[in-house]
Chain A
Amino acid sequence: MEPVAATVYPNYDSVGRAILEAFPIIDFLPVWLVALVIMVVVAACAIVFILVFEGVGSLVLRKLAGDIQSRVGPNRVGPYGCIQFLADGVKLILKEDLKPAACDRVLFRLAPYLAFVGSCAGLVVIPFAVGMIAADLDIGIYYVMAVSSLVSIGILLGGWASNNKWSLVGAMRGAAQIVSFEIPVAMSIIPVILVAGSLSTQEIVRSQGGLFGIFNWNLFHNPFLFFSFFVYLTAAQAETCQTPFDLPECESELVQGFMTEYSGIRFGYFFLGEFGELFVVCALATAGYLGGWHIPFLDAGNLGWFWGNLLSLGVFLTKTFTLVLVSMWLRWTLPRTRVDQLMRMCWKYLVPLTFFNLLGVSLWLLIFDGKGIPAMIAALFG
């Protein structure tokens, strides 16, 4: 598959150089400084995005809960309660920052940041649009898997440092669960890498382009990938600790699990991290299986810089938010599994299934020379 125009994804040095050329007035600045400033700006954009996503997401979560539970949900703050998250956020920031007397002060403070950073760092390699990606790393998927492990460290530290037994139980559960479910998550995303032939997320998305509309998505590439998508969703639901797998913070058993002793904005960081991770896994599913930013029957690369990016961003976010909604829908519907059942599910069913699936995909690619079913059907009809 031919790469689309090579200039669409940014290289900070070249952008910095271009800016210096465009504005001779700041010519005296070194290129690295300009590049650094741009990086900071991009990071700020990502943080703002995740904050807004968290705000809107929490509101949607509550509204959706209202719909499912035949309630109304927040509707007093702003029209239809749409700035509820602002009130919640400001209130959390202004709350007293309690530290239990017996807690480990350093680790107690550190834990929420780790959880937050771990989930937000994944944003770096999310291909938002045809030309919008913070850094198109060659090891993109590998990077996401690596940094998202920081979350489990944050959870473990938080539970341990709180010096609360419920927190510790929650933290142990969380660590075991997240580390275990990394494996099925990774193993069910590897088939995508095999098909695309690259670890770079942008490359994976690009490999799903073409003019068959949605049939170029990896989801329909072959039966194994179709299956693999749902395994990924299940495992990702567990990795992000959403109901029915929200064991680290299960409200009815462990009070609030590892977050029990956290108040104010430190709790807010955990909350943000949770939503950030939810977004990252859903975005990865979109990029890996649902064609990423590809607009069906349209080549976003040919639309020009502005419209191409805008439309593809919209498409990408729509797909991702659909997955987020599915996750929330599950969250309000299903009861919770028990910890041993969860582990059994992971090690006895999901892990072997994903291995089998990986084998299937490899054989498929070997036998059919990397062609998917839609491509073969298309070849059949000329």
Chain B
Amino acid sequence: MTEPISKEALRTDEWTINMGPHHPSTHGVLRLELTTDGEIVSKARPSLGYLHRGLEKIGERVAWAQFMPFTDRLDYLAGMNCNCAYAWAVEKLAGIEIPERAEWIRVLVCELNRISSHLVAWGSFCADMGAFTPLLYGIREREWVNDLFEMVCGQRLTYNYARIGGVSHDLPPGFLEKTKEFCDYFEPLIDEYNRLITYNKILVHRLKNIGVISARDAIEWGLSGPNLRGSGFAYDIRRAEPYSVYPKLDFNVVVGHADRGTLGDCFDRYLVRIDEMRESVKIVRQVIDRIPDGPVMAKVPRVFKPPAGECYFRAESPRGETGFYLISDGGTNAYRLKIRTGSYMAMNIFEKISKGVMISDIVALIGSFDIILPETDR
């Protein structure tokens, strides 16, 4: 009989690993300071700011309309959503009514962009999980949307399409038909993705019961968008505080429903994105059927000076709530422009939920939050 080994003799040292800012799966330049005991992570502290470009300061230094291109760079995967959110915010501040058709066009391009953004989110999440092929499938479909946007505004990634008071151009002829074609092409593909990887046993086992966030925690820590809905809480700004023409549209708020494992785990957040693509296609179809004719631009003076005032506007972007807090002093520039983004708040909770997971799960967590670094760092 050997002597029982004392706990002190079995003590292992923790070590600190630096993950990022250049790491293949941190979706850009996120840096994490991992404190691990072997493979088990005891602490993961995000270190942000490697892409801090001072957008808020720039917003104070350029004219109201000139800030529009910078919103593209705020969330480059969903440029249209940020464009439109900023435009809506400024219009709310200045009390501008925009033409009906412009609202419908904005909703159309926002939902298309939501699809393309979720495609990359899905693909890169799968790539993080080791399956490289879905990423390329996602991008293959994204190219369709890129082509559509290229028809609309001539750019693939940074669109600069919305304007204060409407949108820059009307939809080109043939656009709606092409979009319908895309919807017909894309909708069956979602099932194909599910067959390809979603219910793959390895993926399910990697994702279920990992990074569980209860709805209460999610609200407490300020999560929003698919990350919050993945916890089973039906909170979508398009429904909760409707803006634009969303009240007229019929779509469901997708929530996580503990498909495999616990409610609010990585797999639920993953599924919410997959299902949201379906809902977006549904919205796009409705918009195609119901879009009215008319002008796309309201009369806005060339030197745009909104009245002095403050306004907080929030819109549902693919990564959660994109909020603009605008303060105008009646001048040509914003007095203060504060941007509130979904990814930033997702990083807030990261340190809490990453206790006790393994190094591989850290990658899954980052992927499931679908963070994008210019949004966190601005």
Contacts and interface: CB of A to CB of B under 8 A. Distances in A.
Interface of A: 65, 68-71, 165-166, 169, 243-244, 246, 250-255, 332-341
Interface of A is mostly: loop
A335 B136 contact: no
A40 to B, nearest CB: 41
A246 B132 CA distance: 13
Interface stretch (B2-10, B327-335, B355-363): B355-363
A333 B24 CA distance: 19
Which residue among B15, B126, B136 has the maximum number of chain A CB atoms within 10 Å of its CB? B136
B130 A246 contact: yes
Given A333-B131, A340-B358, 13 more contacts: A69-B137, A165-B15, A243-B130, A251-B24, A252-B127, A252-B128, A253-B359, A254-B359, A334-B130, A335-B130, A335-B200, A339-B360, A341-B206
B150 interface: no
A336 B133 contact: no
Contacts, number: 79
Which 7 interchain pairs have the tightest Cβ spacing?
Answer: A336-B130, A335-B131, A252-B25, A69-B136, A335-B129, A335-B130, A252-B128
B23 A255 contact: yes
B25 A337 contact: no
B128 A338 contact: no
A246 B373 CA distance: 28
B206 A70 contact: no
Nearest to A166: B17
Contacts of B253: none
Contacts of B362: 253
15 contacts: A69-B132, A166-B17, A169-B359, A250-B360, A251-B24, A252-B127, A252-B129, A252-B130, A253-B128, A253-B360, A255-B24, A334-B200, A335-B131, A335-B200, A340-B39
Given A166-B17, A243-B130, A338-B358, A252 B206 contact: no
B205 interface: yes
Given A69-B132, A250-B130, A255-B24, A335 B197 contact: yes
A333 B133 contact: yes
A254 B24 CA distance: 9
Interface of B: 15, 17-18, 23-25, 39, 126-133, 136-137, 140, 197, 200, 202-203, 205-206, 358-363
B202 A336 contact: yes
B130 A332 contact: no
Nearest to B203: A335
Given A252-B127, A252-B363, A165 B17 contact: yes
Given A334-B202, A336-B202, A337-B202, A253 B25 contact: yes
Contacts of A333: 131, 133
A175 to B, nearest CB: 13
A235 to B, nearest CB: 16
B25 A335 contact: no
A334 B130 CA distance: 7
Nearest to A336: B130
Contacts of B359: 169, 253-254
Contacts of B126: 335
Contacts of A332: 132-133
A70 B17 CA distance: 37
B211 to A, nearest CB: 13
B361 A338 contact: yes
Contact of A335 (B17, B206, B358): B206
A338 B206 contact: yes
A49 B329 CA distance: 76
